[in-house]
Amino acid sequence: MMRTKLLSLVPRATVACRHMSSATKLTTVEVNDKTGIATLTMNRPPVNGLNLELLRDLQQSIEEIEGNKSCGLILTSSNPTIFSAGLDILEMYKPDKERIRAFWTQLQDVWLALYGSSVPTAAAINGHSPAGGCLLAASCEYRVMLPKFTIGLNETQLGIVAPQWFMSTYLSILPRREAERSLNQGRMFTTEEALRVGLVDEIASSKEEALAKCADFIATFAKVNPLARSLTKQQFRSADLQQLENERVQDLEKFLFFINQPAVQKGLGIYLESLKKKSKN
Protein backbone atom coordinates (compact mmCIF):
# COMPACT_ATOMS: atom_id res chain seq x y z
CA MET A 1 0.00 0.00 0.00
CA MET A 2 1.22 3.46 -0.75
CA ARG A 3 2.14 5.51 2.30
CA THR A 4 -0.34 8.16 3.25
CA LYS A 5 1.45 11.27 4.40
CA LEU A 6 -0.95 12.36 7.11
CA LEU A 7 1.56 14.58 8.87
CA SER A 8 1.83 16.87 5.94
CA LEU A 9 -1.89 17.31 5.66
CA VAL A 10 -1.99 19.49 8.76
CA PRO A 11 -2.28 23.18 7.78
CA ARG A 12 1.14 24.77 7.94
CA ALA A 13 1.97 27.51 10.39
CA THR A 14 5.01 29.70 10.01
CA VAL A 15 8.03 27.93 11.50
CA ALA A 16 9.08 29.77 14.63
CA CYS A 17 12.76 29.00 14.70
CA ARG A 18 15.54 28.34 12.27
CA HIS A 19 16.53 24.71 12.39
CA MET A 20 19.73 23.09 11.14
CA SER A 21 20.14 19.32 11.05
CA SER A 22 23.29 17.57 12.27
CA ALA A 23 26.54 18.82 10.78
CA THR A 24 28.02 15.32 10.62
CA LYS A 25 25.56 14.35 7.90
CA LEU A 26 26.06 14.59 4.15
CA THR A 27 22.94 16.72 3.91
CA THR A 28 21.77 19.76 5.81
CA VAL A 29 18.26 21.05 6.33
CA GLU A 30 17.69 24.72 6.97
CA VAL A 31 14.21 26.12 7.52
CA ASN A 32 13.62 29.77 6.70
CA ASP A 33 11.92 31.49 9.65
CA LYS A 34 9.83 33.76 7.49
CA THR A 35 8.72 31.47 4.69
CA GLY A 36 8.71 28.12 6.48
CA ILE A 37 10.48 26.64 3.44
CA ALA A 38 13.16 24.01 4.08
CA THR A 39 16.32 23.97 1.99
CA LEU A 40 17.86 20.52 1.74
CA THR A 41 21.50 20.76 0.68
CA MET A 42 23.61 17.84 -0.54
CA ASN A 43 27.17 18.04 0.66
CA ARG A 44 29.30 15.08 -0.35
CA PRO A 45 32.53 16.23 -2.00
CA PRO A 46 33.81 16.08 -4.57
CA VAL A 47 30.72 15.60 -6.79
CA ASN A 48 27.74 14.67 -4.58
CA GLY A 49 27.98 11.11 -5.89
CA LEU A 50 24.93 9.30 -4.54
CA ASN A 51 26.41 6.54 -2.40
CA LEU A 52 24.58 4.58 0.30
CA GLU A 53 25.37 7.12 3.02
CA LEU A 54 24.29 10.19 1.04
CA LEU A 55 21.09 8.41 0.04
CA ARG A 56 20.39 7.52 3.70
CA ASP A 57 20.90 11.14 4.72
CA LEU A 58 18.70 12.37 1.90
CA GLN A 59 15.93 10.05 3.03
CA GLN A 60 16.24 11.17 6.64
CA SER A 61 16.24 14.82 5.64
CA ILE A 62 13.13 14.41 3.48
CA GLU A 63 11.40 12.68 6.40
CA GLU A 64 12.54 15.46 8.73
CA ILE A 65 11.05 18.07 6.40
CA GLU A 66 7.79 16.11 6.08
CA GLY A 67 7.64 15.92 9.86
CA ASN A 68 8.57 19.48 10.83
CA LYS A 69 5.63 21.16 9.08
CA SER A 70 7.81 22.94 6.55
CA CYS A 71 5.69 24.43 3.80
CA GLY A 72 8.01 23.36 1.02
CA LEU A 73 11.29 21.67 0.16
CA ILE A 74 14.06 23.07 -2.02
CA LEU A 75 16.77 20.62 -3.04
CA THR A 76 20.20 22.02 -3.86
CA SER A 77 23.94 21.41 -3.54
CA SER A 78 26.79 22.95 -1.57
CA ASN A 79 29.09 22.41 -4.54
CA PRO A 80 29.27 25.53 -6.76
CA THR A 81 29.47 23.56 -10.04
CA ILE A 82 27.82 20.20 -9.41
CA PHE A 83 24.27 19.53 -8.28
CA SER A 84 24.93 15.78 -8.21
CA ALA A 85 27.07 13.52 -10.43
CA GLY A 86 24.38 10.87 -10.06
CA LEU A 87 24.86 7.45 -8.58
CA ASP A 88 28.32 6.85 -7.19
CA ILE A 89 29.68 4.48 -9.80
CA LEU A 90 31.98 2.95 -7.19
CA GLU A 91 28.86 1.48 -5.55
CA MET A 92 28.08 -0.39 -8.78
CA TYR A 93 31.57 -1.29 -9.98
CA LYS A 94 32.88 -4.56 -8.50
CA PRO A 95 30.15 -4.24 -5.87
CA ASP A 96 29.98 -5.73 -2.41
CA LYS A 97 27.04 -8.18 -2.44
CA GLU A 98 25.23 -6.94 0.65
CA ARG A 99 26.01 -3.26 0.26
CA ILE A 100 24.75 -3.02 -3.31
CA ARG A 101 21.38 -4.43 -2.23
CA ALA A 102 21.15 -1.83 0.52
CA PHE A 103 22.28 0.86 -1.93
CA TRP A 104 19.61 0.16 -4.53
CA THR A 105 16.89 -0.30 -1.92
CA GLN A 106 17.86 3.05 -0.41
CA LEU A 107 17.72 4.70 -3.84
CA GLN A 108 14.20 3.34 -4.28
CA ASP A 109 13.29 4.75 -0.85
CA VAL A 110 14.67 8.18 -1.66
CA TRP A 111 12.74 8.33 -4.92
CA LEU A 112 9.51 7.20 -3.24
CA ALA A 113 10.01 9.84 -0.54
CA LEU A 114 10.90 12.70 -2.87
CA TYR A 115 8.62 12.00 -5.84
CA GLY A 116 5.84 11.16 -3.40
CA SER A 117 6.55 14.00 -0.99
CA SER A 118 3.40 15.69 0.20
CA VAL A 119 5.06 19.11 0.53
CA PRO A 120 5.66 21.22 -2.59
CA THR A 121 9.15 20.47 -3.91
CA ALA A 122 11.58 22.41 -6.11
CA ALA A 123 15.18 21.93 -7.22
CA ALA A 124 17.70 24.76 -7.40
CA ILE A 125 20.06 23.09 -9.86
CA ASN A 126 23.27 24.98 -9.25
CA GLY A 127 25.56 22.71 -11.26
CA HIS A 128 25.82 19.64 -13.50
CA SER A 129 23.10 17.11 -12.95
CA PRO A 130 23.62 13.86 -14.85
CA ALA A 131 21.67 10.61 -14.40
CA GLY A 132 20.76 10.10 -10.72
CA GLY A 133 21.26 13.86 -10.19
CA CYS A 134 18.73 14.50 -12.92
CA LEU A 135 16.40 11.93 -11.35
CA LEU A 136 16.41 13.84 -8.05
CA ALA A 137 15.77 17.19 -9.75
CA ALA A 138 13.08 15.70 -12.00
CA SER A 139 11.33 14.18 -8.98
CA CYS A 140 10.64 17.68 -7.72
CA GLU A 141 7.68 19.70 -8.98
CA TYR A 142 9.71 22.66 -10.23
CA ARG A 143 13.27 23.20 -11.45
CA VAL A 144 15.40 26.33 -11.68
CA MET A 145 18.85 25.88 -13.23
CA LEU A 146 21.96 27.99 -13.52
CA PRO A 147 23.49 28.58 -16.98
CA LYS A 148 26.42 26.70 -18.50
CA PHE A 149 25.66 23.36 -16.86
CA THR A 150 24.21 20.11 -18.16
CA ILE A 151 21.37 17.84 -17.10
CA GLY A 152 19.90 14.60 -18.37
CA LEU A 153 19.50 10.87 -18.03
CA ASN A 154 22.70 9.74 -19.73
CA GLU A 155 22.59 6.08 -18.70
CA THR A 156 22.85 4.63 -22.20
CA GLN A 157 26.13 6.53 -22.63
CA LEU A 158 27.52 4.38 -19.80
CA GLY A 159 26.09 1.19 -21.30
CA ILE A 160 23.46 0.92 -18.59
CA VAL A 161 19.69 1.13 -18.69
CA ALA A 162 17.58 3.51 -16.63
CA PRO A 163 14.87 1.56 -14.78
CA GLN A 164 11.18 2.10 -15.42
CA TRP A 165 10.73 4.58 -12.56
CA PHE A 166 13.52 6.83 -13.92
CA MET A 167 11.61 6.80 -17.21
CA SER A 168 8.29 7.55 -15.50
CA THR A 169 9.91 10.52 -13.79
CA TYR A 170 11.14 11.85 -17.14
CA LEU A 171 7.71 11.25 -18.63
CA SER A 172 6.10 13.28 -15.87
CA ILE A 173 7.94 16.32 -17.28
CA LEU A 174 8.82 15.75 -20.93
CA PRO A 175 6.60 14.95 -23.90
CA ARG A 176 6.75 11.22 -24.61
CA ARG A 177 8.65 11.59 -27.89
CA GLU A 178 11.30 13.80 -26.28
CA ALA A 179 11.62 11.53 -23.23
CA GLU A 180 12.05 8.41 -25.37
CA ARG A 181 14.53 9.96 -27.77
CA SER A 182 16.70 11.59 -25.12
CA LEU A 183 16.72 8.45 -22.97
CA ASN A 184 17.76 6.34 -25.96
CA GLN A 185 20.47 8.84 -26.81
CA GLY A 186 21.56 9.30 -23.19
CA ARG A 187 21.33 12.98 -24.00
CA MET A 188 22.74 15.63 -21.71
CA PHE A 189 20.94 18.97 -22.18
CA THR A 190 22.59 22.33 -21.68
CA THR A 191 20.67 24.63 -19.36
CA GLU A 192 19.21 26.52 -22.32
CA GLU A 193 18.20 23.28 -24.11
CA ALA A 194 16.66 21.96 -20.89
CA LEU A 195 14.54 25.11 -20.64
CA ARG A 196 13.47 24.80 -24.27
CA VAL A 197 12.21 21.21 -23.87
CA GLY A 198 10.66 21.87 -20.47
CA LEU A 199 13.09 19.79 -18.42
CA VAL A 200 13.67 22.90 -16.33
CA ASP A 201 11.17 25.66 -15.69
CA GLU A 202 13.40 28.71 -15.30
CA ILE A 203 17.00 29.84 -15.55
CA ALA A 204 18.59 31.88 -12.77
CA SER A 205 21.89 33.71 -12.87
CA SER A 206 23.00 32.77 -9.34
CA LYS A 207 22.25 30.18 -6.70
CA GLU A 208 20.55 32.85 -4.56
CA GLU A 209 18.28 33.74 -7.46
CA ALA A 210 17.54 30.06 -8.09
CA LEU A 211 16.58 29.57 -4.45
CA ALA A 212 14.40 32.68 -4.57
CA LYS A 213 12.64 31.46 -7.72
CA CYS A 214 12.04 28.07 -6.10
CA ALA A 215 10.63 29.84 -3.04
CA ASP A 216 8.35 31.91 -5.31
CA PHE A 217 7.05 28.69 -6.87
CA ILE A 218 6.35 27.20 -3.45
CA ALA A 219 4.64 30.44 -2.40
CA THR A 220 2.10 29.97 -5.21
CA PHE A 221 0.50 27.34 -2.97
CA ALA A 222 0.19 29.65 0.03
CA LYS A 223 -3.52 30.20 -0.53
CA VAL A 224 -4.31 26.71 -1.75
CA ASN A 225 -5.90 24.31 0.70
CA PRO A 226 -2.96 22.09 1.78
CA LEU A 227 -5.05 18.92 1.97
CA ALA A 228 -6.53 19.45 -1.49
CA ARG A 229 -3.10 20.27 -2.94
CA SER A 230 -1.40 17.30 -1.35
CA LEU A 231 -4.09 14.79 -2.34
CA THR A 232 -4.15 16.15 -5.88
CA LYS A 233 -0.37 15.69 -6.17
CA GLN A 234 -0.65 12.18 -4.72
CA GLN A 235 -3.35 11.24 -7.24
CA PHE A 236 -1.24 12.55 -10.10
CA ARG A 237 1.79 10.55 -9.02
CA SER A 238 0.17 7.49 -7.50
CA ALA A 239 0.39 5.20 -10.54
CA ASP A 240 4.17 5.74 -10.84
CA LEU A 241 4.70 5.37 -7.09
CA GLN A 242 2.47 2.34 -6.83
CA GLN A 243 4.25 0.62 -9.69
CA LEU A 244 7.58 0.76 -7.88
CA GLU A 245 5.99 -0.12 -4.51
CA ASN A 246 4.51 -3.23 -6.14
CA GLU A 247 7.67 -4.22 -7.99
CA ARG A 248 10.44 -3.24 -5.57
CA VAL A 249 11.86 -6.72 -5.17
CA GLN A 250 11.78 -7.51 -8.89
CA ASP A 251 13.31 -4.10 -9.61
CA LEU A 252 16.17 -4.85 -7.19
CA GLU A 253 16.77 -8.32 -8.66
CA LYS A 254 16.69 -6.92 -12.19
CA PHE A 255 19.24 -4.26 -11.23
CA LEU A 256 21.53 -6.83 -9.55
CA PHE A 257 21.34 -9.18 -12.52
CA PHE A 258 22.10 -6.40 -14.98
CA ILE A 259 24.87 -4.71 -13.02
CA ASN A 260 26.70 -8.03 -12.48
CA GLN A 261 26.92 -8.82 -16.19
CA PRO A 262 30.61 -8.95 -17.16
CA ALA A 263 30.01 -6.60 -20.12
CA VAL A 264 28.33 -4.03 -17.86
CA GLN A 265 31.14 -4.25 -15.30
CA LYS A 266 33.68 -3.84 -18.06
CA GLY A 267 31.87 -0.78 -19.40
CA LEU A 268 31.65 0.81 -15.94
CA GLY A 269 35.38 0.18 -15.42
CA ILE A 270 36.22 1.92 -18.70
CA TYR A 271 33.91 4.83 -17.86
CA LEU A 272 35.45 5.27 -14.40
CA GLU A 273 38.94 5.25 -15.92
CA SER A 274 37.92 7.90 -18.44
CA LEU A 275 36.55 10.08 -15.62
CA LYS A 276 39.76 9.68 -13.65
CA LYS A 277 41.95 10.45 -16.67
CA LYS A 278 39.87 13.55 -17.39
CA SER A 279 40.16 14.77 -13.79
CA LYS A 280 43.97 14.43 -13.93
CA ASN A 281 44.27 16.51 -17.10
Summarize as ranges the residues that interact with ligand LGGBLMCM (CB under 6 A).
46-47, 49, 81-82, 85-90, 128, 130-132, 154-155, 158, 160-162, 255, 258-259, 275-276, 278-279
Residues in contact with 196: Cβ distance below 8 Å, sequence separation at least 6, in sequence order:
none
Q: Where are the alpha helices (DSSP H) in the chain?
A: 52-67, 89-92, 97-115, 132-139, 164-171, 176-185, 191-197, 207-219, 226-259, 262-280
Q: How far is the CB of 163 from ligand LGGBLMCM (least distance, A)?
A: 6
Q: Which is nearer to ligand LGGBLMCM, 29 or 89 (CB)?
A: 89
Give residue number: closest CB to ligand LGGBLMCM.
86
Q: What distance in Å separates the CA atoms of residue 3 and residue 133, rounded to the nearest whole number?
A: 24
Least Cβ distance, residue 187 to ligand LGGBLMCM (angstroms): 12
Which of residues 135 and 218 has its CB atom nearest to ligand LGGBLMCM in the complex?
Answer: 135
Query: Taking the CB of residue 129, how many other CB atoms lie within 10 A of it?
Result: 33
Q: How far is the CB of 148 from ligand LGGBLMCM (least distance, A)?
A: 12
Q: Which residue number, 122 or 162, has a Cβ lying nearer to ligand LGGBLMCM?
A: 162
Q: Between residues 113 and 131, which has the closer beta carbon with respect to ligand LGGBLMCM?
A: 131
Nearest to 34 by CA among 62, 72, 64: 72
Residue 34 CB, nearest approach to ligand LGGBLMCM (Å) = 34
Sheet of 202-203, strands arranged across? 27-31, 37-42, 72-77, 121-125, 142-145, 202-203
145: helix, strand or coil: strand
Q: Which residues are catalytic?
A: 87, 132, 154-155
